[in-house]
A and B are shown apart, each in its own frame.
Chain A
Amino acid sequence: MNFTGLSDSFASLHGATEECPQCHATPRVSHGLCLSCLLRHGYDEEEEGAAADFAATLKSIAVTDTNWRLGNYEILEEIGRGGMGVIYRARQRHSRRIVALKRILSYHADSRDTLARFRREAEAAASLDHPNILPIYEVGETEDGVPYFSMKLAPGGNLQEVGPALRKEPREIARLMAKITRAVQFAHRQGILHRDLKPANILLDGCGEPFVTDFGLAKWLDTASDLTRTLTIFGTPGYIAPEQAEGIAANVKPAADVYSLGAIMFDLLAGRPPFLGEHALAVIKQAAEKPAPKLRAIVPGTDRDLETICARCLEREPSARYLSAGDLAEDLERWLEGRPIIARPVSPPVRAWRWARRNPVLAGSVAACLLLASIAGLRQLQSRKLMAELRQGQLRMHSIGVLPFLDLDTATADDGLTKTIADVFQAKLWEMGPASVVTVPSDKTWWPDTASPADLSEANQRVRTRAILTGSARTTQNARRISIRLMNPASGEALLTKVVETAPGPVGIGQLAHQVLPTIYALLDSKDWADTSFSARDPGMKNPEAREFIISGRQFMFRDSIEDLDRSIGCLEKAIAIEPRSAIAHAYLASTIGGRDHFAPEPRGLERAEKEAEEALRLAPNLPDAHRALAGVLYERGNLSGALEEQLRAIEAGGPEEHVASFIGMTLLKLGRPDRALGWLNMAQHWASRPGDYDALIGDCWTQLGDDGKAERAYQRSIDLRPDFSEGWIGLSHLRLLQGDVERARAIHRKNRGRFAAHEKSVEEMGAQIEFFARNYSEARRLYEALREKHLGDEASFYGAITTASALGRLEQLLGDEPAGRALLEETRQREKSEAHPNDPASLYRRAAIDSSLGKIDTALDHLRAAVAAGWVDSRSLRLDPRFDALANDKRFQQLLSDLDAKMAEKRRQIGQPKPMAAQVSSGSPGEQIKQ
């Protein structure tokens, strides 16, 4: 099959957006006509014209295609036509000589400048006098100033037409190519580049003698497509040199013509040009990014030397090609005469050079050059130049900028690790070949491991590396877990995500390097990074129908009305029905079902969400969305450490972002690690769409740590910045309650409760808790009963782990109805036992509270110790909660309380200055508070 012209099967592309002045659309067809206007013409205009009428009109005018005159020529017939020009067979009026005549089509000849340039260049081409360059006889212009030129008419067709007949004749091909190349060399010596050498531009006379035509005139007479004009580059995809495709005229040197000569020879031998593609731009892109295919891979029997000669011409780096057309011609002639050719496959010098890099003592630069020269038989000067070019190109290609790694244990940047990784990777990559690894300068404080598109683009502007590396590290039971992500700064997509368990310390970094660097080097070796993103590879996202459902599903995923969530579930289920292998669809479905269960619990809701999340992880073990979804399910179940692990894995797979950071903060808070939670909440705060979103939670951290001043400031900040949130003042009122200041707690609550109908439940819970802890029993009972009536189910309150039933049970006891109280408490004890996760600190605390109310002192203490071990830290609630009255005078209880206080005091002292984040947050923010 002949592939020539396939590039036109889709469309040519133009670089700049050239809007139609009439309709602003950009697609164009021939003659520069606007496609949209052409179609609109079909319904905007009134009249239609029948074929017969039009024929009559045409015949009525005395304009014919033959036997008309252009300057001194009588036009006989049209013999060729391109995007801008037409070629005629014509007769010179006085000499009667038959010539080929080329002219620009008048609709392109729109400016004086253009015409003048065409004329100048045609005159330059006419000055070339060589037996294998088609002679230009005359450059002239019509009465209207449209220039044309006449030249020898070559009756033997061109190489494109005769190519297939030559395919099995390598000697003939080499003979033709040698002549063509000598002709090109001749023009180069006159300072004229061809710029569009291709089979169609090599004409043959009656004896099969080749003539190169259209020197420097390609852009005027392109016969393949409009591409050359619209991309403002010249040449034909498939034969054009990569540096020429970049479009900078100054970069185009004789080596570009050498490349095209190689491509023509490749085409003649293989029956197709080196690169094929969907459209012209794709062909050009491939030529710039990929090495040319091996001739023998396409036509196995090809002579090895001819393959080497072609490959040498088709090197991407101009300096790696033959230095001149003359050198190429010489090698072709050597081959024809049976002498050894000069060119060798390029790899040996590259290998030698790599060897030199690894053996720097032996190979000083002079020694390396000599070695190269002896191996490749090249002149020393050439080698040095080749080396410099190679080195520069290789280094650019294999360069990595390192952004700070995130210490997942502290939620701060690990500068030491970042530096070590950069150093170790640099050293180890050198062993594989030229490479450069640099840390991104830290005059700006980077948020560790984020690599957001904005970060990437800024980092890239600073270091100009090809890839950006970042990641995280954390301590697990007996190892250090390091995740790395190699990012493509151009697309923002991860090229590689890898999590490695290593030994602690520098040994571990060595292990990491050993495991990941071969893959990284291979990635850097590859020119083409298209399609590395996960979402592009997910089967659901690749299927247009499924993709639509996934995208619609995602739109409704984060709403909080049941109808929207159900709509989202419906869409995602349809997506999965179409493409069951879509991990993204399963992960989104897990999140949505989990979210729905949060608002409207259903018997098997969490189970279903878990199943979907696990399916997603089975399909794509590194999908951050799936880890997040599973974390949500585990959190709802009370499996907080499980949830934390999944959240950390989500970060290891995809880097941190606001929601996962805040989620981790909240989980750590519940796990009794307010000190660690603070770092994550500050990180979330940094990305929050509005300031103040996480201040109430930050306040909770300080409350737990017992630093009331900081807690109060954080709550106040939440109240000031987010007056639409109830959390700030509920937190503040809770703090006052814990401080024993019932009056102020009550006052804050009364002042604000009316304003938050939407947050009714937590508002009412705090109101009831104030009266409960204030031992205002009948009022407390009234409030809890109101709560029970309004809100079905018996969830625990956010503060103090109080369920309505357990509070009411205790209140019945305190108000004198012991049997009713016991009955309620027994019932809630059973439920707690059967439903709660065994390691949920809040649940263990509730069970201690119920046991204590029931007078089971020892089990109460056991549960309380278990709660503390699982992470319960709030000692003040313990002192105030009437459910723990029975323990109040127990020494073991007292001891437990003072242990808790000491633990929190220690944690408070330990909080140092979180490294980068504190510096990033502006003054007056919670970050400031952490620094103190």
Chain B
Amino acid sequence: MYPDTTSGSTAGGRFNTTRWSLIISSLKSDAPDGKAREALAQLCRIYWRPIFAFICRQDYSIEDAQDITQDFFVMILKGDLIQRADRSRGRFRTLLLRSLQNFLIDAHKKTLTRKRGGDRQIVSWDDWMAEAPSRLSISASELGGWPPEKIFDVRWAATVAEDALRQLQEECEKHGRRRVFDALSGLLTANREDVSYATVGRELGLELATVKRVLRQMRQRYRQLLRAQVAQTVERPEEVDDELRYLVSVLATK
């Protein structure tokens, strides 16, 4: 399901061509080629929630917001909006948001005039939601004051982190170690001195030293998955830190 995300483990621990840089380079020539389009579709598939959340915030009904999201994907996948967008600054996130804002300027008229129908369905909501359920939880009082752009960014940040977590969980499950993930993933961000290794050890029937070792490894693995995830959305690997810092800064401001 995530064919590119283990690319971080290839030679030298550096990234292969990321999806976004693949798209960018294809845009520099002509219309996106098949490979770039596939990469774009993959990215949209991961990042549909920020888009949908942003549209929901524009006073559309749920049904209209779904339709507009569908329409937006059609435009994106045709390459039209990306073609038109300013490509001088190359984050996928910023470009997608700008394209979305442009798209919404005249989307309203269209929703009023056209008939709702199934022919434009390019995504299956059920599939997407089942594929990657989200457990983002936000303080209700804060959410009220957030502009749609911030909601987009927060939702984006959650998608990045939850996707990395999900991959970590899948790796554990693949090796029949889901219980390890259940017992340890809650400790991924905890301060080391706050962790009660003894409790986790009893739960899993492991020695204290073993628990420590597995948790350290799990943290390292998570870190790599997270960075690989972000790398898909920036043009150059050096930008990963900046993008992560940006997302953290969005969460820090009230």
Contacts and interface: CB of A to CB of B under 8 A. Distances in A.
B224 interface: yes
A5 interface: yes
B45 to A, nearest CB: 14
B245 A54 contact: no
A41 interface: yes
A750 B245 CA distance: 64
B171 A54 contact: yes
Interface in B198-254: 199-200, 202-206, 210, 213-214, 217-224, 226-227, 230, 240-241, 244-245, 247-248, 251-252
A301 interface: no
A196 B65 CA distance: 29
A334 B107 CA distance: 50
Contacts of B223: 41-42, 45, 47-49
A845 B104 CA distance: 58
Contact of B137 (A2, A22, A23, A27): A27
B142 interface: yes
Interface stretch (B17-25, B28-36, B80-88, B181-189): B181-189
A227 B135 CA distance: 9
A485 B203 CA distance: 64
A39 B179 contact: no
A744 B172 CA distance: 95
A107 B8 contact: no
Contact of A35 (B62, B199, B251): B251
Contact of B206 (A3, A24, A63): A63
Please tell me the size bucket of the interface on B: 35 or more
Contacts of A15: 139-141
A41 B134 CA distance: 20
Contacts of A63: 177, 179-180, 204-206
A39 B157 contact: yes
Given A47-B223, A51-B221, A59-B175, A38 B134 contact: no
Interface string B121-159: 000011001100111111111110001110100110110
B6 interface: yes
Contacts of A225: 135
A171 interface: no
Given A14-B137, A45-B223, A58-B180, A50 B9 contact: yes
Contacts of A544: 101, 147-149
Nearest to A17: B139
A76 B59 CA distance: 48
Interface string A660-679: 00000000000000000000
A6 B6 contact: no
A599 interface: no
B251 A25 contact: yes
Interface string A523-548: 00000000100000000001111000
A279 B45 CA distance: 20
B40 interface: no
A105 B182 CA distance: 8
B248 A39 contact: yes
Interface string A43-75: 101011111111101110111111010000000
B4 to A, nearest CB: 13
Contact of B136 (A5, A12, A531): A12
B37 interface: no
A363 interface: no
Given A43-B241, A65-B177, A18 B139 contact: yes
Given A2-B126, A48-B227, A58-B172, A14 B6 contact: no
B186 A107 contact: yes
B117 interface: no
A562 interface: no
Given A35-B251, A40-B248, A61 B185 contact: no
Contacts of B126: 1-2, 5
Contact of B143 (A13, A18, A65, A543): A13
A41 B219 contact: yes
A86 interface: yes
Interface string A227-242: 1001000000000000
Interface in A142-170: 143-144, 146
B188 A41 contact: yes
A299 interface: no
A877 interface: no
B142 to A, nearest CB: 6
Please tell me the size bucket of the interface on A: 35 or more
A38 B244 CA distance: 10
Contacts of B151: 10
Contacts of A8: 129, 133-135
B190 to A, nearest CB: 9
Contacts, number: 251
Interface string B157-169: 1101110110000
A14 B139 contact: yes
A6 B62 contact: yes
Given A39-B157, A65-B179, A31 B186 contact: yes
Contacts of B175: 55, 58-59
A106 interface: yes
Contacts of B62: 3, 6, 276-278
Contacts of B180: 58, 61, 63
A33 B226 CA distance: 15
B38 interface: no
Nearest to B129: A5
Given A42-B230, A65-B176, A68-B179, A13 B139 contact: yes
A38 B251 CA distance: 11
Contacts of A11: 53, 134, 136-138, 143, 155, 158
Interface string A716-750: 00000000000000000000000000000000000
A6 B125 contact: yes
Contacts of B149: 544
Contacts of A105: 182
Given A27-B137, A54-B171, A9 B49 contact: yes
B52 interface: yes
Contacts of B252: 23-25, 36
Given A39-B157, A42-B223, A53 B137 contact: no
B137, B162, B200 — which one has the most chain A CB atoms within 10 A of its CB?
B137
B56, B175, B202 — which one has the most chain A CB atoms within 10 A of its CB?
B175
A50, A53, A86, A225 — which one has the most chain B CB atoms within 10 A of its CB?
A50
A455 interface: no
B105, B147, B164, B251 — which one has the most chain A CB atoms within 10 A of its CB?
B251
B227 A10 contact: no
A128 B161 CA distance: 43
A16 interface: yes
A5 B129 CA distance: 7
Contacts of A30: 135, 162, 165
A898 to B, nearest CB: 65
B191 interface: yes
A393 to B, nearest CB: 25
A35 B157 contact: yes
Contacts of A2: 126
Contacts of A58: 171-172, 175, 177, 180, 214
Contacts of A543: 105
B142 A17 contact: yes
30 contacts: A9-B52, A10-B49, A10-B56, A12-B138, A15-B140, A25-B251, A27-B136, A27-B158, A28-B135, A31-B185, A38-B161, A39-B226, A41-B188, A42-B226, A43-B245, A48-B8, A48-B13, A49-B217, A50-B13, A54-B218, A55-B171, A61-B210, A65-B173, A65-B176, A144-B199, A144-B203, A146-B203, A225-B135, A278-B53, A544-B149
Closest 9 CB pairs of A and B: A49-B220, A37-B189, A48-B224, A30-B135, A107-B186, A49-B221, A13-B140, A54-B221, A50-B9
Given A48-B13, A66-B176, 6 more contacts: A1-B126, A27-B139, A27-B158, A28-B135, A29-B135, A41-B188
